[in-house]
Amino acid sequence: MSDVYPMVETLRWSGDWNGELVLLDQTRLPLEHVDHTCADLESVWEAIRSLRVRGAPAIGIAAAYGVCVGVQGIEDADEDGFFLRLDTVVKRLGASRPTAVNLFWALQRMQSCAEQMRGSGSTIQIRQALLEEARAIHADDRQMCRAIGTHGAELLSDGMGVLTHCNAGGLATSEYGTALAVFFTAQEQGKQLKVYVDETRPLLQGARLTAWELTQRGIDTTLICDSMAAQVMREERVQAVVTGADRIAANGDTANKIGTYGLALLAAAHQIPFYVAAPTNTFDLTLSSGDDIPIEERDAREITHGFGKQTAPSRVAVYNPAFDVTPASLIHGLITERGLIAPVNREAIANLIPGGADAR
Ligand code: MRU
């Protein structure tokens, strides 16, 4: 597909099966565009943990390439030694961030790929197959994001005001996004949108990343503080809310960036439809409801010392959950690459995704 607008290159693999993972360092955006190279397991773990690469699908893709990085440097290992190392790598990457299920989905897919070759190929052949699998995960994400954009854009009309939270754009995926794919596709169809962007405390993914992506593509963008969303809705400036997701339980309860639940409550109070855009590998059908989704808690200093400046007294207690769970009852529709799930309930999800994300 040809784009008149530049796409972001969130991450790429450089070289062959002995190569390295190169990320656009998202902690430096929007002012600096700096590549960050990960040539060993710990640097991939650190990049995910510190949000140099972030957003559920991008974390999954990074982890897949991270497996390829992690199994390097063990040329002398026999097959058992190789699989022991693979296990260590998968466990380490799986301990980087707990909420986005795409991370665990991708690691599982990589492990299955290697297991299928156990006993029938050299460790070099397994490593080649692992790189092919990571590339396939990357390529699949590109296609899924495009399809999400197409399905979601049908819900929006010319002249509409829409609100989004955090960053579910190209930077959070392979290149095109989930929630932002809906806006990008609408724009490509000639619909003019006015997009309001929550700055997204405490790490400002909305201000630093979403506002950057949208303005790059010439979309009418207005940045607001998170606390302004109610007033924006009251003034009837937005007619829909679209966000991404980090994990969706079997009943449709959805974990996403902290503040999403509050936004969904506000949208319901103002009778504004609230949509979640996500690929099917963000669904975790092993969890019956959102109560079981693990919520990451992050360092207090993200709140007390945001971007290097102390803004709170030194010994104050801090609670810093990175995500919250929006109940399915507040979500008008789940926009997936396979189509729209609406109304959102257990049966509708099971119908669209029978057997989970990998069953076609
Ligand atoms: O902590 P982050 O920046 O990784 O959180 C990201 C989000 O909450 C996104 O909305 C979500 O991962 C969807 S990305 C398409």
Q: 25, 198, 246, 253: which is the annotated catalytic residue?
A: 246
Quickly state the pLDDT bin for 212 (edges 50, 70, 90): very high
Ligand 1 and 173: CB distance under 6 A: yes
* Centre of ligand 1 from the C-alpha of residue 172, in Å: 6
Closest CA to 323 of 245, 246, 256, 242: 256
> Does residue 340 have a pLDDT over 60?
yes
For residue range 167-207, list pLDDT tens digits in order: 999 999 999 999 999 999 999 999 999 999 999 999 999 99
CA distance 67 to 306: 32
Q: Is the pTM of this model over 0.85?
A: yes
Q: Supply the pLDDT for residue 137.
A: 98
Q: Which atom of ligand 1 is the closest one to the Cα of 166?
A: 10
Say yes or no: CB of residue 254 within 6 Å of ligand 1. Answer: no
The whole-number pLDDT of residue 6 equals 66
Whether 213 contacts 169, CB under 8 Å: yes
Q: What average pLDDT does the structure give for the chain?
A: 96
Other C-beta atoms closer than 10 Å to the C-beta of 308 total 6
Higher-pLDDT residue of 189 and 122 is: 189
For 54-82, what is each residue's pLDDT tens digit? 999 999 999 999 999 999 988 778 999 99
**284 belongs to the catalytic site:** no
To test the pocket of ligand 1, the residue of 203, 257, 302 to mutate (highest count of ligand atoms within 8 Å of its CB) is 257
User: Which residues are 122's β-sheet partners?
Assistant: none
Tokens of 14: 């450089």
- Answer whether the bond into residue 202 is a cis peptide, omega within 30°: yes
Task: Provide the pLDDT for residue 359.
Answer: 54
Q: Which is nearest to 47 in space by CA: 284, 245, 258, 55? A: 55
Pocket flag, ligand 1, residue 187 (CB < 6 Å): no
Q: Which residues, 6+ apart, have CB-to-CB distance to 163 below 8 Å?
A: 195, 196, 197, 198, 229, 232, 233, 238, 240, 241, 242, 263
Whether ligand 1 lies within 6 angstroms of the CB of 145 is answered as: no
149-163 burial by CB neighbour count: b if 16+ within 10 A, else e?
bbbbbebbeeebbbb
* pLDDT, mean of residues 79-107: 97
Proportion of the chain in helix, strand, coil states, percent, rounded to 5: 40, 15, 40
* Tokens 């979309």, residue located: 219
Judge if the beta carbon of residue 209 lies within 6 A of ligand 1: no
From 167, 180, 226, mutation site for ligand 1 pocket: most ligand atoms within 8 A of C-beta: 167
Give the residue, by CA position, lying nearest to ligand 1 atom 6: 55
Q: Is the CB of 279 under 6 A from ligand 1?
A: no
